[in-house]
Amino acid sequence: MAITEILVHVDGTPAAEARLRAAVEVAAAARAHVSALFLVAEPFLRALVGKHLPEELVRQQLAALESEADQRLRDLATLAAGQGVQLETRRETSSVDHLPAILARQGRRADLVVVGPGTDTDESNLTEAAFMDTGRPALVVPAAWTGQLPPKRALVAWDGSREAARAVGDAVPLLAQAEDVVILTVDAHRAPARFSNEPGMGMSSFLTRHGAKARVKRVTASGGIADTIVAQVAEEQADLLVMGGYGHSRVRELLFGGVTRSLLESTVIPALVSH
């Protein structure tokens, strides 16, 4: 898969600049087009004050929010232009509960959706929509990220699952540019049906045929799975984590123990996540 269209979710926080920089760096390497999407949540004034709140006051408040969003988009477009990328800007407005569906709709016409890890429920819903509802991979960028993309070294969290295989395939354009790709298996013996007698070797061959410089690393969990992966990211000094993603419904939480959420909350490098 070639990366030709990137959608980055932006807002008024400084974290949006880290997401934009990640999108711009990937776009510059891939010669891709970048669009920035600002989602404006309709004000809660009506619910907080009561149904008799004047309509004009609601319109004024919404107009102010949209004006701020437009200015932020202009500022980010200037920032991207300074890095050699022309940024297309988009703004959509809706109630906060509808914003994930809007992001998903917009993301379905991109090759990669760049979002933040989510620090509250509303932001987490956007993050989950980016990889669960678009049919596209999401690049989840921590607010304090200061690294580089495309990565010099990438770590693939390989558990033999369909989701992980999808993530590896989606990440090939980035992995092929890395100097080193670590295929990490954690406690592979606990899921023998997913692996051959040499866990990770088949995926290593797959990536090698796609031009990546891949090697396998097998470890035993120390603490939880997420903690083990985060520790390996630090040990290998990886610039990118590639992983299969699961949603946060109660059933998935019971089945997978919230590993996806834990990783996205704790990793300090971008994570390419696919479902």
Q: What is the DSSP string of 6-68?
A: EEEEE-SSTHHHHHHHHHHHHHHHHT-EEEEEEEEEPPSHHHHH-TTS-HHHHHHHHHHHHHH
Confidence at residue 194, expressed as pLDDT on a 0 to 100 scale: 84
pLDDT, average across residues 141-158: 97
Q: What is the pLDDT of residues 86-135, one digit of tens each?
A: 999 999 999 999 999 999 999 999 999 999 998 788 888 999 999 999 99
pLDDT at 197: 86
Write the pLDDT tens digit of every residue in 207-261: 999 999 999 999 999 888 999 999 999 999 999 999 999 865 544 444 444 788 8
Domain 5-140 shares a fold with domain 153-274 = yes
pLDDT at 151 over 60: yes
Average pLDDT over residues 16-27: 98
pLDDT in the model for residue 120: 81
Residue 161 to residue 157: CA distance in whole angstroms: 10
pLDDT bucket at 57, cuts 50 / 70 / 90: confident
pLDDT at residue 243, rounded to an integer? 96
| 3 state DSSP class of 247 | coil
CA distance 184 to 156: 6
The dotted CATH code for 5-140 is: 3.40.50.620
Q: 49 or 59, which is more confident?
A: 59
Cα 219 from Cα 201, distance rounded (Å): 14
Q: How much is the pTM?
A: 0.92
For the 153-274 domain, the top CATH level (class) is alpha beta
45-59, 106-120, 174-188: which has the minimum mean pLDDT?
45-59
230, 260 contact by CB (below 8 A): no
Domain range annotation of the chain: 5-140, 153-274
Helix (H, G, I), strand (E, B) or coil at 90: strand
What is the pLDDT, as a whole number, of residue 45?
55
Residues near 79 by Cβ (< 8 Å), separated by ≥ 6? 17, 20
Res 49: pLDDT: 52
Q: Is the pLDDT of residue 175 over 50?
A: yes
State the Cα–Cα distance between residues 31 and 6, nearest whole angstrom.
Answer: 10
